[in-house]
Chains A and B, each alone.
Chain A
């Protein structure tokens, strides 16, 4: 009997070490109807990953697990008071968001202002969704997780800050941005017009079908653009006059490199600061 207790204790210690002391404070599986007309599905996380998978279902399945780790005795209670996982319909759209006292909405945009020193707990929320493939998505997280999207034919807006964005089996337009992380996208068909990929510290890897037809412009401070496609290059520039500058009247020339592949159907934009950009033919 004594031996059994020891074993149990070890098991508990091991599991808490793996979870680094996080305990689940809310966990659920919810379904909700799809957005109507031009509505979108918005998923706004703060700490943790968001993964969205296109399937043949006709509604949205949301699985989430909200965990917290106390910093003080009252930590878990505070976390339970502060944090809420909200699923709501806003007009034609559906919003799934982790909310807390540090989240504000201003002019329809989410603003998160956390100083983790002020909180009595750490928290992390992992969100998994299964959606119809033709949905229009807006997905965002900030820390401790990647944004992963798969099998979507609608349009996708995907933002991260400290993490990657990876999108598989994509058919449509993608507008994505991260700060410290890579962007990886596999397009199954010609990328949607107006697609836009930006990262500050990370690489952008895009794989596209062999018959790509795109007009690509790119910009990087320390990175390069690599491709195995045949292409035509040219530069476009424009002069902008700005009389509002305090330092005087300012004129700007911005010239970026444009690359035409195929017949140039979709316009795509790549930007990095530190990191390379890759455009490869899918096999």
Chain B
């Protein structure tokens, strides 16, 4: 009986044009695809907030959005909202408390199996928890106060953060991942045989696990850290590069890239950071 009620709940979710969820912070949207069962794309671009995407054995994209709580009644803690206040304005607020607001607006659009999420996350921090069918491409980005986490997804993954980590576990396919302040942690179950990949951060470790049989050419650079790996690589340290320009002059650049061919070489996988180590591991 319990199962039946669950099914009823789900159909209601799918059919009802208007749902009201009184006094809860989290909202759920189940988005059916135009071509269920076929590969789709999920695009989320945030300013403030985290994104977690998990692959599951379903055919819908389920989006859950949670507004980050704003509990402060104190204006000082919201200095950024109040940058241009003047003295009159301060006097006006005397004896008053600020009511914390969590006004969230989220729009999810589905077109030809592409699901795009837009929101007011530039103003109100929002954390997204999304379930996608396992074969799905992802284009995810955020800037502040959040991490990107991806699990159990097979596809082309473009994951982009600025002040936060990027974690991708049990993924397949290919990935281009970058962040500035945060570590990158990735574990592949399998990789596309012909696609180049890149993993870049400025401050943080780059830790990538790959299948032992992967055929690739690693291109690695850690400005202030070390590179560790248990892959057997034919390492080739690049020498000075000379660019002759057709204006008669020439430029010598010294690059500290380390190239390593794994299992005979293949598409280029780039690993790059400045502060932090690079770990390239074989799947056990």
| Chain B residue with the shortest CB-CB distance to A252 | B107
**Those of A182-220 within 8 Å (CB) of chain B:** 218-220
Residues of A within 8 A of B63 (CB): 251
- The residue that A238 contacts in the complex, of B20, B67, B92, B108, with Cβ under 8 A, is B20
Does any Cβ of A come within 8 Å of B102's Cβ? yes
B105 touches A227 (CB 8 A): no
Stretch at the interface among B22-30, B133-141, B264-272: B22-30
Would A249 and B104 be within 8 Å (CB), given that A239-B19, A255-B27 are in contact? no
Q: Cα distance A256–B18 when bound, in Å?
A: 15
| Chain B residue with the shortest CB-CB distance to A246 | B111
B109 touches A240 (CB 8 A): no
Query: What is the interface of chain B mostly: helix, strand, loop, or mixed?
Result: strand
Q: Cα distance A259–B65 when bound, in Å?
A: 21
Would A224 and B101 be within 8 Å (CB), given that A239-B27, A252-B106 are in contact? yes
Does any Cβ of A come within 8 Å of B3's Cβ? no
- The residue that B108 contacts in the complex, of A220, A222, A250, with Cβ under 8 A, is A250
B97 touches A248 (CB 8 A): no
Residues of A within 8 A of B99 (CB): 218, 224-227, 231, 233, 257, 259
B22 touches A236 (CB 8 A): yes
7 A-B pairs with least C-beta separation:
A248-B111, A226-B96, A234-B23, A255-B104, A253-B106, A251-B108, A253-B27
Does any Cβ of A come within 8 Å of B239's Cβ? no
Residues of B within 8 A of A257 (CB): 99-103
Q: Cα distance A70–B228 when bound, in Å?
A: 84
Does any Cβ of B come within 8 Å of A74's Cβ? no
CB of A226, distance to nearest CB on chain B (Å): 4
Interface centre among A219, A231, A237, A240 (most CB of B within 10 A): A237
Q: Cα distance A259–B101 when bound, in Å?
A: 10
Residues of A within 8 A of B114 (CB): 248
- The residue that B23 contacts in the complex, of A231, A236, A252, with Cβ under 8 A, is A236
Does any Cβ of B come within 8 Å of A269's Cβ? no
A233 touches B97 (CB 8 A): no
Residues of B within 8 A of A251 (CB): 29, 31, 63, 107-110
Q: Cα distance A251–B14 when bound, in Å?
A: 11
Does any Cβ of B come within 8 Å of A2's Cβ? no
Interface centre among A220, A249, A251 (most CB of B within 10 A): A251
**Those of B28-81 within 8 Å (CB) of chain A:** 28-29, 31, 63, 65, 67, 75, 78, 81
Does any Cβ of B come within 8 Å of A57's Cβ? no
B19 touches A219 (CB 8 A): no
Does any Cβ of A come within 8 Å of B112's Cβ? yes
A237 touches B97 (CB 8 A): no
Residues of B within 8 A of A221 (CB): 123
30 residue pairs of the A-B complex, CB under 8 angstroms, read A218-B99, A219-B103, A222-B81, A224-B75, A226-B99, A227-B96, A234-B22, A235-B24, A235-B25, A235-B102, A236-B21, A237-B27, A238-B18, A239-B18, A239-B28, A241-B17, A248-B114, A249-B111, A250-B108, A251-B109, A251-B110, A252-B108, A253-B65, A253-B105, A255-B25, A255-B27, A255-B103, A257-B101, A257-B102, A257-B103
- The residue that A218 contacts in the complex, of B24, B31, B89, B101, with Cβ under 8 A, is B101
A253 touches B102 (CB 8 A): no
| Chain B residue with the shortest CB-CB distance to A217 | B103
- Additional A-B contact list (19), CB under 8 Å, known A233-B100, A251-B29: A226-B93, A226-B97, A226-B99, A227-B97, A233-B99, A236-B21, A238-B21, A247-B111, A248-B109, A248-B110, A249-B111, A250-B109, A251-B107, A251-B108, A253-B27, A253-B29, A253-B104, A255-B25, A255-B105
Q: Cα distance A63–B41 when bound, in Å?
A: 65
Does any Cβ of B come within 8 Å of A278's Cβ? yes
Residues of A within 8 A of B27 (CB): 237, 239, 253, 255
Does any Cβ of A come within 8 Å of B95's Cβ? yes
Would A235 and B23 be within 8 Å (CB), given that A218-B101, A241-B17 are in contact? yes
| Chain B residue with the shortest CB-CB distance to A277 | B99
Q: Cα distance A256–B100 when bound, in Å?
A: 11
Does any Cβ of A come within 8 Å of B234's Cβ? no
